[in-house]
Structure 1
Amino acid sequence: MKFIVKTQRGMEGVAANYVKEALPDAKIWISPMGYSGLVIVEAGDEGAGERILEIPEVERIIPVLVEVPAELEAIVSSAEKIASLIGEDETFAVKTKRRGKHGFTSVDVNRELGARIRELTNSDVNLSWPDKVVQVEIIGDRAYVSVLPGEEFRKFTPDKIDARKLFRKVTLVQMPYWGDYKACRSFGEKIGRAAQAFEVKELIIAPKEKMDAFELAEFLKGVRIGQESRHRIQREAYPWKVEKVPVSVWDLYQVVRDKRRPKRLLIITDPKGPTLAEVKADLARDAFYAKEVVIFVGSREGIPRGLFRFADYVVDLAPYMTFATEHGIPAALVSLWEIYEEYARNLEEGD
C-alpha cells in the first residue's frame, strides 16, 4: 500500500530514515518533485501505517486509495471507488491540496469530484463537520485520492464553547510601564500583542498619577506595534473577520469611578486577595451574567490598595508568585476562561 507521509518542512529526511528502519522493505521517495515536508512510502507490510505513526517526526499519514494522473477527468473518474466507502447517511467534504501547475484549480476538483460522489451516494456535503473527508493530494503529474474520517484534531468544533463569548465583554485596564524608553516600547509591544490576541472589548492604558509624557508615548507606540503584528497574523489564520481592539488612555481612578456602564464586574489581580480556587464558583457565575468584565492589571507596581474596596473580586492567581508585567494579561484571561467554561458547561448539562 502507498502512503503520503507529512512532516514539518525540513524534517522529511529524518522521518524517512526512521520509516526505513521500521519498514526495511519499503520504497521511499523523499520530497517528491522537490516539495518539502512530504515523503511517499510504498510498503507491503501489514500494519505499516501504525508503525509509521509511531515515529514522532511524522505529523500525519494519508493511505492512498486511488492513484491517477493529475488530470481533472481522471480524478473525477475515481469517484466510483471512493463512493463505496461513504454511506448514504454520512456527510462528506472534498479537500484538495494541489502542488504544481495544472489546467484546473483545487476548487474545480472539489466541485467536480464532490458532485460526482453526491450523485453516486446521495450523501450530503458538509464542509464544516463532515463524517468523511475525501482528500486529494496532487503532486506534480500524479494525484492521490484517499477517504479519511473527520479530522481528529480540529481547531473549531461544535462541542467547544467559543472563548470569544467571554473575551468580547472583557475590558482590560493596564497600568503603563515606565522608565527606559526601549523598555517602555518593548513592554508596550508585548501588552498590545496580548490584548489583541484575546480580541477583548477594549484595552485602557491607565496611569495612576502624573508620568513622563515621552515614556508614555514610547509605551503606546509599542502597544500599537504589538497590536498590529498580532492582527496581521489573525487575519491570515482565522476564517472570520478580526477587528483591532480599541485602545484608550484614562486615569486609573476615573476608570473605577465610571458609573455609565451597568452590570460591570470589577476584578483586580493581586497577591493580597483570596486564591482563584476559593472564589471560582461565585466569580464564574458573576462573569457569565455580567455585561462587562473589567480586569485591572498592574505594571512594576500593583494596583493601588485603595481601589480594592471598589472591586467585586480581588484574586490571587498564583500564591507566592509575582507575574512579570507582560504575563499579567494572559494569566488573568486564561484563568478566568477556565472557570467560565466550567460554569457554562455545567449550565448546558443542567447541573
Structure 2
Amino acid sequence: MKFLVKTQKGMEGVAANYIREELPDAEVWISPMGYYGLVIVETEDENAGEVMLGIPEIERVIPVLAEVPAEIERIVETAEKVAPLIGENETFAVKTKRRGKHGFSSIDVNRELGAKVRELTGADVNLSWPDKVVQVEIIGDRAYVSVLPGEEFRKFTPDKRDARELFRKVTVVQMPYWGGYKVCRSFGEKIGRAAQAFEVKELIIAPKGKMDALELAEFIKGVRVGQESRHRIQRESYPWKVEKVPVSVWDLYQVVRDKRRDKRLLIITDPKGPTVAQVGERLARDMFHAKEVVVFIGSREGIPRGLFRFADYVIDLAPYMTFATEHGIPAALVSLWEVYEEYAGKREERT
C-alpha cells in the first residue's frame, strides 16, 4: 500500500525518520523529484495510516488509490477506480495539486476527471462542502489519485458565522502615536495592518489636539504601508474581493460630536470601565441592532476621560492589564466579536 505524506517544508526528513522507526518494513522516499514537504511511503502494514497520523510532524496522510503517468488521459482513466467509493447520493469535488511542467493545467484535470466521475456515479459536484474529495497529486511525471472524506478543518464552513457581519459596520477611531519619526512610522504600519486585517468600515486617525505635523505624516505613511501589505495577502488568500479600508483624519472631539449626533453606538476601551463579560449581553444586543459601531482606541495616553460621558459603553478588555498601542485594534475587535457571535447565535435559535 502506498501513501503520500505531507509535512511542513523542511520537516520531511524528520518525519521520514520517525516513519522508519514506527514502520521498519516501509520503503520511504523523501522529497520525491526534489519537492520539499513530501514523503512517499510504501508498506504492507494495514495500520500504517493510523500509525503515521500519530507522528506530530506529519500533517496529512493520503492513501494512494491509483498511480499513473502524469498524462491527462491516464488520470481520467482512474475514474473507474474512484467511482465505487462515491455513492450516488453523495457530493464530490476534484482537487488537483500539480508540481512540474505539463501540457495541461490543474483546472483541466478537475474538469475532465470530474465529468467522468459524475458520469459513472451520478453524484453531484459540490466545490464548497463535498462529502468526498478526489485528490490528484501530480509530482513530476507521476500522478497519484486518492479519494478522501470532506476536510475536517476548513477556514470557511456553513456553521461558522462570518465575522465581517459585525466588522463591516465598525469604525475604528485610533489616536495616533507620537515620538520619533521611525517609531511613528513603525506603529502606523502595525495599526494599518490590523485595521485592514479586520476589514472594518473605516479607520479614523484622530489626534486629540495640536501635534507635530511631521510625526503625524510619518504615522500616516506607516498606516498606508501596513494596509498595503495586508491587502496584498488578502487578495491572494481570500476567495472573495477585498476592498481597502478607507482611512481619514479627524479631530477626536469632533468625531464624538458627529457620531453622537447621528446616534451611532460609541464604545471606548479603557481600564476604568466594566469588563466585557459584565455588559456582554446588552452590549452584543446593541451592536446587533446598531447601524454603525464606533470603537475608540487610545495611544500612549488613553481616550480623554471627558469623552466617557458621551459613550454608550466604556469597557475594560482585560482587567489589571494595559495593552500596547498596536494591540488595541485586535484586542478590542476580537472581544466584541465573541459576545456578538454568542448573542447572534442564541437569537437565531430563539427565532
Whole-angstrom CA distance in 1 between matches of 2:148 and 2:205:
49
State whether residues 189 and 226 of structure 1, in contact with CA within 8 Å, keep that contact through their aligned partners in structure 2: yes
Q: Distance in 1 between matches of 2:263 and 2:133?
A: 46
Show CA shifts across 1:228-269 (max 9, x none).
111111111111111110000000000000058744110000
Structure 2 residue aligned with 1:10: 10
For these two proteins, the number of residue pairs brought into alignment is 351
| Matching residue's letter, 1:21 | E
Asked whether the 8 Å contact 1:168–1:199 carries over to 2, the reply is yes
Are the aligned partners of 1:262 and 1:291 in contact in 2 as well (CA < 8 Å)?
A: no
- Which residue in 2 is equivalent to 1:56? 56
Q: What is the rounded CA distance, in whole Å, between the counterparts of 1:261 and 1:306 in structure 2? A: 17
Mapped to 2, the partners of 1:300 and 1:73 lie a distance apart of: 64
Structure-2 separation of matches of 1:183 and 1:164: 31
Q: Is the 8 A contact 1:270 1:316 kept in 2?
A: yes
Aligned to 2:132: 132
Deviating beyond 6 angstroms after TM superposition, the runs of 4 or more aligned structure 1 residues are none
Q: Distance in 1 between matches of 2:176 and 2:140?
A: 54
- In 2, are the aligned partners of 1:93 and 1:132 still within 8 Å (CA)? yes
Rounded to whole Å, the distance in 1 between the matches of 2:334 and 2:106 is 38
| Residue matched to 2:34 | 34
Q: Distance in 2 between matches of 1:14 and 1:337?
A: 39
Match of 2:20 in 1: 20
The equivalent residue for 1:152 is 152
Asked if the contact 2:260/2:266 (under 8 Å) is kept, the reply is no
The share of aligned pairs that are identical, in percent, is 84
Matched letter for residue 292 of structure 1: E
1:264 counterpart letter in structure 2: R
How do residues 1-351 of structure 1 correspond to structure 2 at under 5 angstroms? 1-259=1-259, 262-350=262-350
TM-score when normalising by structure 1: 0.98
Deviation at 1:140, TM superposition (A): 1.2
1:116 CA displacement? 0.6
* Partners of 2:259 and 2:35 in 1: CA distance: 60
Q: Secondary structure at the match of 2:88?
A: coil
Pairwise CA distance, 1:107: 1.1
User: What secondary structure does 1:96 align onto?
Assistant: strand
| CA separation of 1:42 and 1:263: change in aligned 2, threshold 3 A | farther
- Residues in 1 aligned to 2:174 and 2:2: alpha-carbon distance in whole angstroms: 55
Please list the CA deviations of residues 89-121 of structure 1 after superposition, one character each: whole Å capped at 9, or x if unmatched. 000000011111222211111111111110011
Task: Give deviations 1:288-338, integer Å, cap 9, x for gaps.
Answer: 110100000000000000000000000001010000100111000000000
CA distance in 2, matches of 1:37, 1:211: 52
Cα distance between partner residues in 1 of 2:110 and 2:263:
49
Q: What TM-score do the two structures reach when normalised by structure 2?
A: 0.98
Where structure 2 has 5 or more consecutive residues not aligned to the other structure, the ranges are none
